[in-house]
Amino acid sequence: MILQGRYDSENNEVDVKLWSQSPVEECVTKWRLGAELGKSVVYQETNGETRVEIKESVRGQDIFIIQTIPRDVNTAVMELLIMAYALKTACARNIIGVIPYFPYSKQSKMRKRGSIVCKLLASMLAKAGLTHIITMDLHQKEIQGFFSFPVDNLRASPFLLQYIQEEIPNYRNAVIVAKSPDAAKRAQSYAERLRLGLAVIHGEAQCTELDMDDGRHSPPMVKNATVHPGLELPLMMAKEKPPITVVGDVGGRIAIIVDDIIDDVESFVAAAEILKERGAYKIYVMATHGILSAEAPRLIEESSIDEVVVTNTVPHEVQKLQCPKIKTVDISLILSEAIRRIHNGESMAYLFRNITVDD
């Protein structure tokens, strides 16, 4: 999706055009920036290839491509790459990608014989012609180091904190919950800003994300393997997870589980069951990116979770129809302000007020 902009320095006004399809893009373009859509066409050939045609001159202009990631991730990525390359070929001055949810962000570490796909995607975007990216709540902040151009990693936490204060009755009786020790820093940030207690769920039946991050586990050990004489390495002890426990008091409280992505919801459903057993009388789940794949709406509807609150970085209108427990927080305001500031050459510091490393 494309945004084409011009800046009128005499009247201090932004004249922008863009092309978009999803609700968050509509909010950014029509409601926030008062912009028109740029003239371009994106479609699939009969053989499945993606074709992009730019229908007006973009020479010497700043172009913003707003691309949300729907269910078909790979098609969306190819649309973005081909459109960026088409704009580069058409001599656009700057090509800025506005990607609220950055795809493949969970594949940002080496695992066994796998690959760091997020690094590959960053290189492809740079090669295609992008000169800047605006995104939101990267799964790992270190992903910014994969890019050879500036990345603005905006935060959704101010909007989610506002939702807690305004939409959750008696939120002062709540406790912020991390469903695993890995999410403790994010939960601690929420708890400190809301002046609430903190609880952490420790011990999981399934493997956590960090269990097989390091590629140095490869290759696997082989029986009767030839070892250099005199070389005896100490054997690494296998991990043994403790029984699931809740560190912190949730009895008679509202439990608010916070995370960055909700995709497969089994772990959230299991966490909700544990919190119910420990005495929590209401359970909310809050996250930036509501991917909600597969059977997520049905599992949420049948679970102990009272409400799932996500932002509109990812389209999830169908899931909301299937499960009324899913609520949406609009973050188009911060995206449109980021676009306006970058286009006008203004500082982005205002958008990161009171943001710390752990946020």
Long-range residue pairs from 118-121, CB within 8 A, at least 24 positions apart, any chain: 118/143, 118/146, 119/146, 121/77
* Residues 196 and 128 reside in one and the same domain: no
Beta-carbon contacts of residue 148 (< 8 Å; ≥ 6 apart): 122, 126
Residues 124 and 33 in one domain: yes
Mark whether 187 and 105 lie in a shared domain.
no
- Is 101 part of a structural domain of the chain? yes
Q: Which two tokens stand for residue 157?
A: 């936490």
Q: What's the pLDDT tens digit per position in 199-253?
A: 999 876 544 455 455 555 555 555 555 666 667 778 777 777 777 889 999 999 9
The rounded distance, in Å, linking the Cα atoms of 13 and 237 is 64
Tell me: pLDDT of 7 over 60: no
Look at residue 8 and tell me if it is in a domain. Answer: no
Please check whether residues 23 and 142 belong to one and the same domain.
yes
The total number of residues shown for the chain amounts to 359
The domain tally of the chain equals 2
The residue with greater pLDDT, 290 or 36, is 290
Same domain, residue pair 143 and 73: yes
Residue 285 covered by a domain: yes
> Does 334 map to a domain?
no
In a domain, 168, yes or no: yes
Residues 268 and 325 in one domain: yes
Instruction: Check whether residue 41 and residue 178 sit in a common domain.
Output: no
What is the tens place of the pLDDT at every residue in 75-124?
999 999 999 999 999 999 999 999 999 999 999 988 888 899 999 999 99
Q: Are residues 127 and 165 located together in one domain of the fold?
A: no
Instruction: Let me know if residue 224 belongs to a domain.
Output: no
Query: Structure tokens of 291?
Result: 């991917």
Element (H, E) at 286: strand 282-290
Residue 272 is part of which domain span?
157-204+242-329
pLDDT above 80 for 262: yes
197 and 146 fall within a common domain: no
Q: At 82, list the tokens.
A: 């081909």
Same domain, 177 and 323: yes
**Residue 6: C-alpha distances to residues 35, 64, 304, 342 (Å):** 11, 11, 50, 12
Amino acid in the structure at residue 283: I
Higher-pLDDT residue of 59 and 35 is 59
In DSSP notation, 237-277 reads: PPP-PPPPEEES--TTSEEEEEEEEESS-HHHHHHHHHHHH
216 assigned to some structural domain = no
What tens digit of pLDDT does each residue of 199-212 get?
999 876 544 455 45
Cβ atoms of 131 and 149 within 8 Å: the answer is yes
Q: Note the pLDDT of residue 88.
A: 95
Residue 67: burial class (beta carbons within 10 Å; 0-12, 13-18, 19+): buried
Q: How far is CA 111 from CA 116, 117, 213, in A?
A: 8, 11, 5
CB 116 within 8 Å of CB 109 = yes
Give Cα 215 to chain centroid, integer Å: 25
CATH number at residue 135: 3.40.50.2020
Single pTM value for the model: 0.84
User: Which parts of 174-316 fold into alpha helices (H)?
Assistant: 184-194, 266-277, 296-302
Q: Is residue 161 part of a domain?
A: yes
Residues 140 and 190 in one domain: no
Instruction: Answer yes or no: do 30 and 50 share one domain.
Output: yes
